[in-house]
């Protein structure tokens, strides 16, 4: 189908903690976090793999992998099931000590050299499972081979104010990377790594074996490779976003709703796995919009029932918005109930949350104080409600608040959760 891709093995790194996503990753790995109504974050990487004609994938898991494993299943949703294609879950080779777990990206691949040996390949495509983007990996493979590179890194231009979040490379006129700095405090370049690598297989194996004590690619092995070998930057100009923070996750979801949006999962050929999650998507009834309801600039999935108002929001399957209720600038995951006359404003609700009649989630001005326990997680006014929590009738929850999973009426204060508070 795509001749450049058939000799390439994919390793997809999906084991990161993703702690900055707070309650959204208390019971799931970051790549398994739902996105844009019917997808999970990892669907983008897996669909890009499928659409590029790649057929053999190893998914390296570690942190809370069960929901991710259920979601991936046999890989059939992405045509990765069959005689000549497949996806295999690769957990850490854990022993009696925590030190047996993956210590970094390079260590994770090193622990799976037997999987690499069992799947002979010309190149290895190394991906992260927690980015939102569309990319033709076959074109990158062609670039890698044309340059006779031993390592090619997907890179894109970012504002210099953001370069401290990435691995940064300086490339010459031919695209060869001549210098590298991991998360530099002061910008010398605006060329950032996307965490997408193509290695010649033999080269990668030798690099890992020769440097057994080095745990991470960005911090350790890439600078070493640049100093002595052929390392090139593959230029990327499309939409790409690391959704590892609450703010980035909310913004990427909102990007889907923009009239001039650069992100279009359906047009990109991104596939969900409709049979993997609670209450199969295929079993849901179409969304219902009751007379008197209002829906503007929103994404409403199957199984939703809208009797109130929904504005600039994303509703996953099975959400009910009762009469008089208002939802604005929010992300509501599966099977939540926004009861009569309740308000949800600038909030993210995990699955099966109930906001009881007259309750308000997200109250107050945009100048609220940051969350007191997690000031680096919540500081722009977004409030988080964890899975299966119940916000009691008449309760007012302010900005930058956190309601932990499964909280009930007795866990809340008498009348209000102040800005920056946590229940």
pLDDT value of position 6: 56
Q: Whose structure tokens read 């899975």? A: 387
pLDDT at residue 243 above 60?
A: yes
Residue 417 — pLDDT band, cuts 50, 70, 90?
Answer: very high
CA 130 to chain CA mean position, Å? 3
Q: What CATH number matches the domain at 278-417, 1.10.490.20, 3.30.1330.20, 2.160.10.10, 3.40.1280.10?
A: 2.160.10.10
Confidence of residue 105 (pLDDT cuts 50, 70, 90): confident
Average pLDDT, the chain: 90
- What pLDDT does 140 receive? 96
Residue 278 pLDDT exceeds 60 = no
Q: What is the CATH number of domain 8-257?
A: 3.90.550.10
Q: What are the boundaries of each domain within the chain?
A: 8-257, 278-417
The pLDDT of 29-43, averaged and rounded, is 93
Q: What is the spatial distance between Cα 20 and Cα 34, in angstroms, rounded to a whole number?
A: 15
- 282-306, pLDDT tens digit by residue? 688 999 999 999 999 999 999 999 9
Strands 305-306 and 320-321: parallel
Residues 6+ apart with CB under 8 A from 415: 394, 395, 396
Burial of 222 (0-12, 13-18, 19+ CB in 10 A): buried
Region 370-395: mean pLDDT is 95
**Residue 96 pLDDT > 50:** no
For the whole model, what pTM was predicted? Answer: 0.92
Report d(CA 20, CA 33) in Å as an integer.
12
Q: How confident is the model at residue 2 (pLDDT cuts 50, 70, 90)?
A: very low
Q: Round to whole Å and give the CA distance between 70 and 340.
A: 34
> Tens digits of per-residue pLDDT, 153-179?
999 998 888 888 888 888 898 999 998
Rounded distance between C-alpha atoms, residue 411 and residue 423, angstroms? 7
Question: Which range, of 50-54, 193-197, 271-275, averages the lowest pLDDT?
Answer: 271-275
Mean pLDDT within 309-327: 97
> pLDDT tier at 411 (50, 70, 90 boundaries)?
very high
Q: Which residues of 299-312 are buried (b: 16+ CB within 10 A; e: fewer)?
A: bbbbbbbbbbbbeb
The confidence score (pLDDT) of residue 5 equals 47
Q: How confident is the model at residue 322 (pLDDT cuts 50, 70, 90)?
A: very high
């Amino acid at each position: 189908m795509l001749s450049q891709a058939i000799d390439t093995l994919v390793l997809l790194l999906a084991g990161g903690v993703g702690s900055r996503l707070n309650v959204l990753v208390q019971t799931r790995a970051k790549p398994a976090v739902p996105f844009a109504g019917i997808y999970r974050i990892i669907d983008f990487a897996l669909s890009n793999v499928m659409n590029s004609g790649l057929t053999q994938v190893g998914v390296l898991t570690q942190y809370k992998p069960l929901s991710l494993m259920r979601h991936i299943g046999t890989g059939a949703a992405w045509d990765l099931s069959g005689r000549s294609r497949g996806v295999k879950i690769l957990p850490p080779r854990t022993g009696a000590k925590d030190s047996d777990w993956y210590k970094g990206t390079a260590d994770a691949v090193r622990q799976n050299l037997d999987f690499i040996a069992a799947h002979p390949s010309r190149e290895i495509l190394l991906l992260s499972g927690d980015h939102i983007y569309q990319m033709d990996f076959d074109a990158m493979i062609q670039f890698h081979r044309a340059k006779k590179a031993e390592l090619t890194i997907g890179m894109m231009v970012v504002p210099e104010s953001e370069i401290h979040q990435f691995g940064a490379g300086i490339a010459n006129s031919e695209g060869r990377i001549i210098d590298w700095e991991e998360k530099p405090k002061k910008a010398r370049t605006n060329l950032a790594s996307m965490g997408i690598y193509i290695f010649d297989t033999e080269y990668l194996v030798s690099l890992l074996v020769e440097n057994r004590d080095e745990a991470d690619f960005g911090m350790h092995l890439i600078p070493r490779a640049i100093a002595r070998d052929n390392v090139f930057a593959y230029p990327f100009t499309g939409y790409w976003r690391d959704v590892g923070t609450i703010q980035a996750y909310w913004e990427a979801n909102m990007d889907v709703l923009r009239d001039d949006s650069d992100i279009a999962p359906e047009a990109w050929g991104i596939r969900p796995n409709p049979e993997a999650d609670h209450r199969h998507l295929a079993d849901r009834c179409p969304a219902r919009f009751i007379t008197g309801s209002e829906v503007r600039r929103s994404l409403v999935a199957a199984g939703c029932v809208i009797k109130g108002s929904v504005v600039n929001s994303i509703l996953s399957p099975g959400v009910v918005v009762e009469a008089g209720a208002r939802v604005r600038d929010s992300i509501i995951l599966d099977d939540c109930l926004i009861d009569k006359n309740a308000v949800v404003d600038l909030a993210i609700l995990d699955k099966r949350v109930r906001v009881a009649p007259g309750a308000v989630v997200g109250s107050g001005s945009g100048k609220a104080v940051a969350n007191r326990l997690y000031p680096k997680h919540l500081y722009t006014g977004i409030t988080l409600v964890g899975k299966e929590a119940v916000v009691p009738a008449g309760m007012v929850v302010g900005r930058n608040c956190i309601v932990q999973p499964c909280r009930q009426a007795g866990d809340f204060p008498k009348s209000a959760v102040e800005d920056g508070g946590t229940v």
